[in-house]
Amino acid sequence: MKWLDTARAYKKNDPAVRSLLEVILLYPGYHALGFYRAAHFLNTIHLYFLARLVSQFGRFITQIEIHPAAKIGRRFVIDHGNGVVIGETAIVGDDCLVHHGVTLGSKVREPIKRHPTLQNGVRIGALAVLLGDITIGEGAIIGAGSVVTKDVEAHDIVAGVPAKSVKR
């Protein structure tokens, strides 16, 4: 069950979590993923208006915006959540973690793949901005407040504006 795996991922990644019930009832990032999954399903069956309606309602409730066409893997954790934006062509792998204020955004307006791809196990610090059709390699860490516009190698740690490798 995806929803239970996700709740367990929250418990694993957040030492403040006391129980799975707490995550299920009280965590806005968890709720945002529920809205996203419903909107994504509607999007895949070409009910685009309803998908956006569900997505916007979820944004209103959680302050987290995930486009219904984005592709999100299993056990994705949005810690604290406020202000997270995930664009239409973004791809998020399994076991990724993002903090509040993270943007997976675009640099262009054409209808092409224009948002970042996060491979499995990526961690992104608060207020980081990732722009364009870039790939963040498996297990990479993006420092808080970083601006990333170029690919990041697997297991690399980047930080700064613009983001540069600080450790491999």
pLDDT tens for each residue of 126-163: 999 999 999 999 999 999 999 999 999 999 999 999 99
Q: How far apart are CA 116 and CA 139, in angstroms?
A: 15
pLDDT higher than threshold 70 for residue 22: yes
N- to C-terminal Cα separation, the chain: 35
Phi, psi (deg, nearest 5) at residue 48: -65, -45
Domain boundaries, the chain: 2-167
State which fold the 2-167 domain adopts.
Answer: UDP N-Acetylglucosamine Acyltransferase; domain 1 (2.160.10)
Residue 106 DSSP code: -
Is the four-CA dihedral 77, 110, 52, 62 of positive or negative sign? positive
Give all strands of the β-sheet with 157-159 in edge-to-edge order: 77-79, 97-99, 123-124, 141-142, 157-159, 164-167
Mean pLDDT (whole number) for 14-27: 94
- Count the alpha carbons within 13 Å of 38 in the hemisphere toward its beta carbon: 14
- Count the alpha carbons within 13 Å of 153 in the hemisphere toward its beta carbon: 6
pLDDT, tens digit, for every residue of 47-86? 999 999 999 999 999 999 999 999 999 999 999 989 999 9
pLDDT higher than threshold 60 for residue 165: yes
Q: What is the pLDDT of residue 112?
A: 95
% of residues, the chain, pLDDT over 90: 95
